[in-house]
Amino acid sequence: MRRRDLLQIAALTVPAMVAGRAFATSRTKTRLLVIFLRGAYDGASLLVPIASGDYYAARPTIAIAKPDPADPNSALPLDAHWGLHPALRESILPIWQARQVAFVPFAGTDDLSRSHFETQDSIERGQATRGPSRDYASGFMGRLAGVLSGDGVTPIAFTQQVPLIFQGRQPVPNIAIAGVGRPGLDPRQSDLISRMYEGTPLGPTVSEGFAVDDQVYKAVGAEMTASGRGAISAKGFELSGRRVGRLMRDQFDLAFLDVGGWDTHVGQGNAQGYLSQRLAELGRGLAGFQEEIGPAAWADTVVVVISEFGRTFRENGDKGSDHGHGSVYWVMGGAVRGGRIAGDHGPVTTAQLNQNRDYPVLVDYRDMMGGLFRRLYGLDDARLQTIFPGASPRDLGLV
Amino acid sequence: MARARHRPTRRLASLAASAIAVAGGALAAPIEDRAPTPAQIALVDRITWGVTPAEAAAIANMGEGPWLQRQLHPADGGDHLPPAAQAQIGVMPYLQVSMVDLVRDAQLQQAAANQMTDPALKAAAKQVYSKAMDDAARQAAAREILRDLYSPDQLREQMTWFWFNHFNVQMYKANIRLMVGDYEDRALRPHALGKFRDLLEATLRHPAMLRYLDNADNAAGHINENYAREIMELHTLGLGSGYTQGDVQELARILTGVGIDAKPDEPKLPPQLRGQLIREGLFEFDPARHDYGDKVFLGHQIRGRGFAEVEEALDILSRNPATAGHVSRELAIYFVADDPPAPLVERMTSTYLHTDGDIAKVLETMFRSPAFKASLGDKFKDPLHYVVSSVRLAWAGRVVADPGPVLNFAGRMGEGLYAHETPDGYSMTAASWNGPGQMETRFEIARQLGAGGAGLFKPQTPGAAEPPVVPDIRASAQAVGLVAAQPPATQAVLVQASSPKDWNTLFLASPAFMRR
């Protein structure tokens, strides 16, 4: 993807302002979706270090077997050093083969608390972990939305609550994507309620909410009709992924989604079992997203999958893994330079571990995202510093 | 900034009288025709799950001081619910069985299912087992909602929720659905206004916690740090209070062998360890799984000697000033403001340290502070407060037939009972609950409650229809001065209501009703 010539695109697009930002048409065609895997997923089971003897020695029961065409439970070879979890054979492997997904191993943060909550929060805030002052109620996607507000971006969080990552000076709408239904209030009631909130701090939030509810219901209504005929039977995260694809095709271009259930301390399984089911569902959701957003929009879409940290390199006493450090991020989309392992990486050996325990972090998430945002949106240093204060954006050639 | 509230009308006394008839043992004093002040109503609204005419009458008659003392020091551990609520709890089958029996029966069921060879039968048996777990948790949650709605000991009920959230467990892990009712009822509620040290140990000895944070799997040579970390980060000291990864590892070693054993028979132990075994219900300290080496924890030398190490560690943690400060701040966030003033938290911390962690005393310090009084009416309700306070006000004189819709609404707003996945519990600050999507959900709930019972009064017999139950929220709200206190924009909208249902919806959706 090249940097957008914003002026040229702006000239071609008439912003359709109806009732606030939610109806605006963005002047940038770029669509960005960030997916947060809450609970610290085991990156070493997703992107398997198939050439590492230490990996197989450290994980007697939870390793994914080396690629073997005769064994459906073995890793899918990506290159000489890395394999993909076999649960992603139908969903993500085709995207890899189309060279539209890159993996960034050893990615993460310098926060070493190994606390889910602190690290999720610090990543969502996107501020330096050590610094003179922190703004606890400001997230990096919120600041990105602020920086791009002149370009008419349409941000949304597909979550039950507005996540920290999207908090900031202006309200960003949220909608629980798993439970969209017909609005129960009639337009007169919506109007009266909006009037009670006029001039109060929640005024903009409330009118935004009514507008978005309406839009989302209209967009997802088509799917509901279809499902009545048995056309779509997706559920769980796959259904969410498909809905998000539908909405990002037409209405929203800067979005966040999260999915939990990755904290596999006990019995995580290997090619089969708990984690493999989670990964399979995630893969189906992402493939469903790609299908629903359609080829035209996919060409301008970037999906980034992140998690707060990785897990211990060694299996624990309960056939699971404990809190680690470096994770594996995914970057996918029609214009992504994929089919490769991006960022700094080397052989996976015990000697390379952080604190003799877990993957090191060689790619800081702020630097990586900063570099990506620069390419996607043509942002200058000053604006990147607004989004990631004190970071050193790095171009990993992802787009 | 507390909003001005007008004095309620004299209609209060008659409304209150009918409500009190339902509230049963809530009030012994005769009702005098004395109207509560706006400050008293605001106080009740904050300390209870939502103001009702009856509770407003109670504070007016008793006076603030005695009313507060009764909330801080309930006479006994009984529920004292109105008969119609008590009767519902009395027929919930899973609440009549001990947790030990529930868990053992379920294990037998599960084992039997696993041995079935016919896949269809096996699937059906597993479904039965899974439904039993769902039902057990659902009944515990229903009991909790009935207590929130109708218990006269409202502060204890609020604190029970608060402590559940502080020592959070999530029901969908393993078989915790069979344990949450007991956890809430026997580990948390009895200590909700007692000593923090007792509460901490009660949670540590409960299988719900030991399963949720994996300490049941923590054994010498197979260390699992999960619980050790969260005790310090979330339950006691708080993050950034100076403990290290080394302290986490040492506490994990201290906690080895603290676990669960559902088997009726004692484990086989070598003679020299038998005296060290502790069993109480499902809780077990298994000395064969304990690391008897010496430890250094938070600078203290801890001699390896069994469960006494755990007691020593809990003493160290519960008396630490960081714990006093952390717990005080959490309480102040829940009861005062999203970012409570530091001097208030300092005074509460000081009370905690002088009273050896007496929770009622810490609360009293907070309730008597100017910062607390100044904050009344300003705290954004979290979802459960929103829906419970709506139902309390709407049907103050009538016990619901099914608390299920309250649970469903709380879940829809993202704050289901026992449903928070991670151990940090639900957020208690406005920013987590007042996004556009969340406000829309509240308005929809306002509509469903305002237009009728939303299923709350549907008799729990199959096929029975719900009787007409449009609430008269205007009467209740007027009685406690909540209508006259509305800002002009809300007043201007309320007069445009096209029907009583419409008025109810708009009132429950109004900005002031979002706060307590």
What pLDDT, in 10s, does the model give residues B417-435? 999 877 889 989 998 899 8
- Under 8 Å between Cβ of B441 and B390: no
- The predicted model gives A123-151 an average pLDDT of 84
CA distance to partner chain A, nearest, from residue B464 (Å): 25
SS3 helix, strand, coil % of chain B, rounded to 5? 60, 5, 40
**Chain B hits for A278, Cβ within 8 Å:** none
For chain B, domain boundaries: 12-72+380-514, 321-375
pLDDT value at residue A214: 81
Residue A255 has pLDDT above 70, yes or no: yes
Helix H segments across chain A? 6-12, 43-46, 53-58, 93-97, 116-125, 140-147, 187-197, 203-228, 236-250, 274-298, 365-377, 381-387
- Under 8 Å between Cβ of B84 and B50: no
Cα separation, B500 vs B445, in Å, equals: 16
pLDDT value at residue A212: 83
Residue B452 has pLDDT above 60, yes or no: yes
- Under 8 Å between Cβ of B217 and B254: no
pLDDT value at residue B10: 44
- Under 8 Å between Cβ of A217 and A186: no
- The predicted model gives A327-356 an average pLDDT of 96
- The predicted model gives B259-283 an average pLDDT of 96
Radius of gyration of the CA atoms of chain B, in A:
24
Nearest to B224 among A117, A260, A265 (CB): A265
pLDDT value at residue A24: 41
**Within a 10 A sphere around the Cβ of B18, how many other Cβ atoms?**
13
* Residue A56 tokens, joined: 């197989």
CA distance to partner chain A, nearest, from residue B338 (Å): 12
Residue B331 has pLDDT above 90, yes or no: yes
> In sequence order, what are the beta bridge partners of A36?
A258, A306
Residue A292 has pLDDT above 90, yes or no: yes
Contacts of B312 (CB under 8 A, 6+ apart): B300, B302
More confident residue, A17 or B173: B173
Nearest to B493 among A195, A199, A206 (CB): A195
The confidence band for A64, taking pLDDT boundaries of 50, 70 and 90, is very high
- Cβ of A189 within 8 Å of Cβ of B447? The answer is yes
Nearest to A265 among B214, B435, B514 (CB): B214
- The predicted model gives B272-280 an average pLDDT of 96
* Residue A15 tokens, joined: 């912003």
Residue B12 has pLDDT above 80, yes or no: no
Measure the N-to-C terminal CA separation of chain B; round to a whole number of Å: 12
- The predicted model gives B38-58 an average pLDDT of 96
Nearest to A206 among B214, B414, B439 (CB): B439
pLDDT value at residue A313: 97
Query: Chain-wide mean pLDDT for chain A?
Result: 87
Residue B298 has pLDDT above 50, yes or no: yes
**A77 CA to centre of own chain:** 24
The confidence band for A230, taking pLDDT boundaries of 50, 70 and 90, is very low
**Chain A hits for B229, Cβ within 8 Å:** 114-115, 323
Cα separation, A123 vs A107, in Å, equals: 12
- Cβ of A209 within 8 Å of Cβ of B233? The answer is no
- The predicted model gives A381-390 an average pLDDT of 96
Residue B29 has pLDDT above 70, yes or no: no
pLDDT value at residue B116: 87
Q: How far is CA B104 from CA B177, B237, B483, in A?
A: 13, 35, 53
The confidence band for A222, taking pLDDT boundaries of 50, 70 and 90, is low
Query: Chain-wide mean pLDDT for chain B?
Result: 92
Number of A–B residue contacts, CB under 8 Å: 141
Span A156-168, pLDDT tens digits: 999 877 888 998 8
Span A353-382, pLDDT tens digits: 999 999 999 999 999 999 999 999 999 999
Residue B437 has pLDDT above 70, yes or no: yes
pLDDT value at residue A77: 98
Q: Helix, strand, or coil here: B481?
A: coil
- On the CB side of B490, CA atoms within 13 Å amount to 21
Span B457-484, pLDDT tens digits: 988 788 888 787 899 999 999 999 999 8
Contacts of A290 (CB under 8 A, 6+ apart): A95, A245, A298
The confidence band for A4, taking pLDDT boundaries of 50, 70 and 90, is very low
- Cβ of B414 within 8 Å of Cβ of A197? The answer is no
- Cβ of A185 within 8 Å of Cβ of B444? The answer is yes
Residue B28 has pLDDT above 50, yes or no: no
Residue A220 has pLDDT above 80, yes or no: no
Span A323-337, pLDDT tens digits: 999 999 999 999 999
Question: Is A352 buried (19+), middle (13-18) or exposed (0-12) by CB count in 10 A?
Answer: middle
CA distance to partner chain B, nearest, from residue A162 (Å): 6
pLDDT value at residue A234: 64
Residue B259 has pLDDT above 60, yes or no: yes
The confidence band for A18, taking pLDDT boundaries of 50, 70 and 90, is very low
Cα separation, B46 vs B487, in Å, equals: 20
- Cβ of B435 within 8 Å of Cβ of A205? The answer is yes
Cα separation, A277 vs A262, in Å, equals: 11
Determine phi and psi for A191, rounding to 5 degrees: -65, -45
Cα separation, A53 vs A61, in Å, equals: 14
Residue B26 has pLDDT above 60, yes or no: no
pLDDT value at residue A398: 96
The confidence band for B346, taking pLDDT boundaries of 50, 70 and 90, is very high
- The predicted model gives A224-241 an average pLDDT of 62
Q: How far is CA B504 from CA B18, B148, B509, B511, in A?
A: 20, 22, 8, 14
- The predicted model gives B440-462 an average pLDDT of 90
- Under 8 Å between Cβ of B50 and B151: no
More confident residue, A117 or B318: B318
The confidence band for A134, taking pLDDT boundaries of 50, 70 and 90, is low
The three state secondary structure string of B113-140 is: HHHCCCHHHHHHHHHHHHHHHHHHHHHH
**Chain A hits for B509, Cβ within 8 Å:** 193, 196
> In sequence order, what are the beta bridge partners of B195?
B358
- Under 8 Å between Cβ of A398 and A331: yes
The confidence band for B414, taking pLDDT boundaries of 50, 70 and 90, is confident
- Cβ of B447 within 8 Å of Cβ of A184? The answer is yes
User: A125-129, A213-217, B317-321, B406-410: which range is least confident on average?
Assistant: A213-217
Rounded to two decimals, what is the model's pTM?
0.78
pLDDT value at residue A117: 77
Q: Could you tell me what percent of chain A has a pLDDT over 90?
A: 68
Residue A10 has pLDDT above 60, yes or no: no
